[in-house]
Amino acid sequence: MRITEIFHSIQGESSWAGRPCVFVRTTGCNLRCAWCDTAYAFHGGEDLSVDEIVEEVGRLGGGCRLVELTGGEPLLQHDIGELAGRLLEAGYTVLCETSGSVPVDRLPEAVVKIMDVKCPGSGEAESVDWTNLGRLDPGRDELKFVIADRADYEWAARQIAERGLGRFVVHLSPSFGAMDNRQLAEWILEDGLPVRLNLQIHKCIWDPAARGV
């Protein structure tokens, strides 16, 4: 597998925010979102075997039992299902953040899938594979929309209503440096939208441009 970095930090997003977590960031992505904060993962990285990755996760995390597979787009990696299965067998809770542009069923069912639905402001809204909704478990998996402006917010609100996404935990995340946190919070309150405001807390703790956190 091609890996950009493996590191131990605080989970900054989703319902798991605030938890210590080991991150496995894969290399390569099929999208080019306008607000991407991990473009360094598009290229480079190093080739590691599944065994080497599992060993490094254990070494870095110590007693930490939460792992997130991220990228780039982790589902582009041929061995991602095998890696996730090995981590589950070792007793880890495994999260995977994916754009949803690739079928999520290449992951074991027990993996918590966090589908980052791309709004128009990302420039990649046409990439969303909506059939993935049928592959997700509303009792376990989650959806996230990164909001850059009012148009993104209204688009996300329509998807939530028209596609019945309220059956999932849904996060609206302000695009860092572009969308005002308070403004997004006020829109959510005004409309009574059935979502959670999701701030990237790791960027509140460390330099937003820092890697490995």
Q: Is residue 120 part of a domain?
A: yes
What pLDDT digit, counting tens, does each position of 67-96 carry?
999 999 999 999 999 999 999 999 999 999
Q: How far lies 119's CA from each of 92, 149, 157, 163, in Å?
A: 31, 10, 11, 15
Q: What is the pLDDT of residue 210?
A: 81
Q: Which residue has the tokens 């939530």?
A: 160
Query: Residue 51: how many CB atoms within 10 A of its CB?
Result: 10
Tokens describing residue 86? 């090995």
Q: Is residue 86 part of a domain?
A: yes
Residue 207: pLDDT above 90?
no
Q: How far lies 64's CA from each of 8, 58, 171, in Å?
A: 9, 8, 25
What pLDDT digit, counting tens, does each position of 29-55 carry?
999 999 999 999 999 999 999 999 999
Query: Could you tell me the pLDDT band of residue 126, with boundaries at 50, 70 and 90?
Result: very high
Query: Residue 164: how many CB atoms within 10 A of its CB?
Result: 11
Q: Is residue 210 part of a domain?
A: no
Contact in structure between 67 and 85 (CB atoms under 8 Å): no
Q: Is residue 201 part of a domain?
A: yes
Domain of residue 141, CATH code: 3.20.20.70
Q: Is residue 142 part of a domain?
A: yes
Q: What is the pLDDT of residue 107?
A: 98
Using DSSP's 3-state secondary structure scheme, residue 138 falls into coil
Q: What is the mean pLDDT of the chain?
A: 96
Q: What is the pLDDT of residue 212?
A: 77
Query: Could you tell me the pLDDT band of residue 165, with boundaries at 50, 70 and 90?
Result: very high
Cβ neighbours for 58, distance < 8 A, ≥ 6 positions apart:
90
Q: Among 89, 90, 106, which residue's Cα sits nearest to residue 98? A: 106
Q: Is residue 213 part of a domain?
A: no
What pLDDT digit, counting tens, does each position of 112-125 carry?
999 999 999 999 99
Residue 203: pLDDT above 90?
no
Q: What is the pLDDT of residue 187?
A: 98
Domains in the chain, number: 1
Q: Is residue 134 part of a domain?
A: yes
Q: Is residue 212 part of a domain?
A: no
What's the domain range around 132?
Answer: 2-205
